[in-house]
Structure formats: C-alpha cells, structure tokens
Amino acid sequence: MQRVQTKAIMLEVTQVVELEPGVILPPGYYPATETRSGLGTISDDMTWAAPQYKLEFSAKELAKMGVKGAASRIFVRFDVTEFVRLGQFTVS
C-alpha cells in the first residue's frame, strides 16, 4: 500500500538564493511543506522515498521580492528539494 505524508516545516535560508531566473530569495525563515511517499511491505514495514520540499508564495509576496509579472499570478509553488540536499536551505 502506498502512503503519502505531508507536514508543515520551516526552511532557513542563510544566503541569497536565486530560485529561478528573476526570483531572488533573501535570507530568512520560510514556511514550507515536506512530502514523503512510502510503500508498505509484506512485513508491514514502510519503505520511504527521500522527502520532497516545496515553498509557496502569493502574488503579493512575489511582488515584494521584485518578481516581474507577479500580479498576474495567484501563487507560485517552487520545488526546493535540490537546495535542501545541497545544504543551501536547512530544515528547522
């Protein structure tokens, strides 16, 4: 049986990071989600995949960061898993 666990976490960013061209994330703490999926085994153990991390910003938050065209969006979700794996973001 497949299971998915999602929980709210905080990510700490200690240096300026460019999430994508034109989207600059300043240092600070950001609410995020951590999602893990797992498969049950015959012995009722769970085998979990590596977690995925996502940040979500509203149009207002994007505009504050200076993102052009932010007003035309409701929100944007960024997969920041690689930043966490590289140690640029810390789960706190």
Stated length of the chain: 92
- Helix, strand or coil for residue 81? helix
pLDDT at 18: 92
CA distance 65 to 47: 39
Residue 67, helix vs strand vs coil: coil
> Residue 92: which of 49, 34, 47 has the closest Cα?
34
pLDDT digits (tens, 9 = 90+) for 8-65: 999 999 999 999 888 889 999 999 999 999 887 777 777 888 999 999 998 888 888 8
Residue 33 and residue 5 in contact, taking contact as beta carbons nearer than 8 Å: no
User: What confidence score (pLDDT) does residue 88 get?
Assistant: 93
Task: Please name the residue ranges forming H helices in the chain.
Answer: 59-64, 81-85
